[in-house]
Amino acid sequence: MIKTRDELLRINIGHILYFEADRNYTKLLLAEGIQFTFAVNIGKVEELLAVQISNPDTILIRVGKSHIVNKTHILQINLPKQKLLLLAKEGKPRELTIPKEPLRALKELLEAEVLRSGEEFSDKEVENNES
């Protein structure tokens, strides 16, 4: 739920594509293509999410100063071009320009998650083969 002085918006977290900072405002784009703008800065949005979601880092990730993205919608990370491609539900990709260092950190985080899940799979596979 995002609540400002004049607005209240209830959203399923899986529908969030990304939040984008615009000075004292924050733009929210949903996977369905619907867009909202709030009169709160992105830091306040991040605080609201942290209070409401037990582990906001699980799905929503802060990328640099200007974006919070839903990692389940990430299609491509291109470091040389500083581009992050998100796939929306309507099948239209959304391209964000992100500074290289935050983008590199995001890439490393996602790679580490894949390695952890791969290790778990490998360990289970070994246990099953030994039985």
Instruction: Give mean pLDDT, residues 55-80.
Output: 88
**55: confidence class by pLDDT, cuts 50, 70, 90:** low
pLDDT for 97 beyond 90? yes
More confident residue, 125 or 34: 34
Tell me the whole-structure pTM to 2 decimals: 0.81
Residue 120: predicted pLDDT: 52
pLDDT for 130 beyond 90? no
> Which of 105, 103, 86 shows the shortest CA–CA distance to 95?
86
pLDDT in tens, 8-28: 888 888 899 999 999 999 999
Averaged pLDDT score across all residues of the chain: 84
CA distance 17 to 61: 11
pLDDT in tens, 31-47: 988 899 988 899 988 88
Residue 123: predicted pLDDT: 46
The tokens for 33 are 């293509």
CA distance 62 to 49: 11
